[in-house]
Amino acid sequence: MSREGETAKRPSTARLESGKVVAFPDEELASYFEQRGYGVKREDGAYELSPYEALYLLEDGRIRVVRSEGGEALSFFELLSLLGEHNPDLWIGYLIYRDLRKRGYVVRNGFGFGLDFRVYERGEYGKAPAKYIVVGICEGSPIPVQRVWELLKRIQSLKRELVFAVVDRRSEVVYYTASELTV
């Protein structure tokens, strides 16, 4: 798979190590990772990818994931299944991650506390902090008002914008912002 206007290139190999995906990119792909905010670079030059990043890069054809050195490549659904053992909400999070990436945003893992993603304004990654904090919700799943209150209070203290990403039954993502907390 290659994007329109790009030449087809052999994907870089990544390994599944203890439930984590570690990529060993060449110089060109390492530069791509740095510019677009993929992974965390280790001292040995490898990049530790989040499950969302690994799935996205595999689907995009930039990496191939194996279980061990010289092993057979995993399919997208095999990797999804293996990584999903540790995260039952992986599919919903991946749909949101993929949608944001396709819209041109740099997406990084959140700060914990149920804050799924930090999203950087286009062209701002590495220059400014994330502008948005995105929380994923599956359509039809209730979210208590107290939880919304806590999230909004936390996000406002970080001086960011809270965005709820709701995944509907057709796997489409709809975004809602919550910007003011008044009582």
> What CATH code is carried by the domain that includes residue 30?
3.40.1170.20
Domain span at residue 109? 90-178
The CATH number of residue 136's host domain is 3.40.1350.10
40, 91 Cβ separation under 8 angstroms: no
Q: What is the number of structural domains in the chain?
A: 2
Continuous H helices in the chain: 27-36, 51-59, 76-84, 90-102, 145-157
Q: What is the pLDDT of residues 110-148, one digit of tens each?
A: 876 566 899 998 888 889 999 999 999 999 888 888 888
Instruction: Please say which residue of 23, 50, 84 terminates a domain.
Output: 84
Kindly state whether residue 4 falls inside one of the protein's structural domains. no
Kindly state whether residue 80 falls inside one of the protein's structural domains. yes
- Residue whose token pair is 């994007």: 3
Sign of CA dihedral 134, 138, 139, 144: negative
Instruction: Work out the angle between the directed axes of helices 76-84 and 51-59 (0-180°, nearest 10).
Output: 170
- Evaluate if residue 1 carries a pLDDT over 50: no
Q: What is the pLDDT of residues 34-68, one digit of tens each?
A: 999 999 999 999 999 999 999 999 999 999 999 87
Instruction: Check: pTM over 0.95? Answer yes or no.
Output: no
CA-based nearest residue to 138, from 100, 166, 97? 166
Kindly state whether residue 132 falls inside one of the protein's structural domains. yes
Together in a domain, 79 and 94: no
pLDDT of residue 115: 61
Together in a domain, 69 and 133: no
65, 49 Cβ separation under 8 angstroms: no
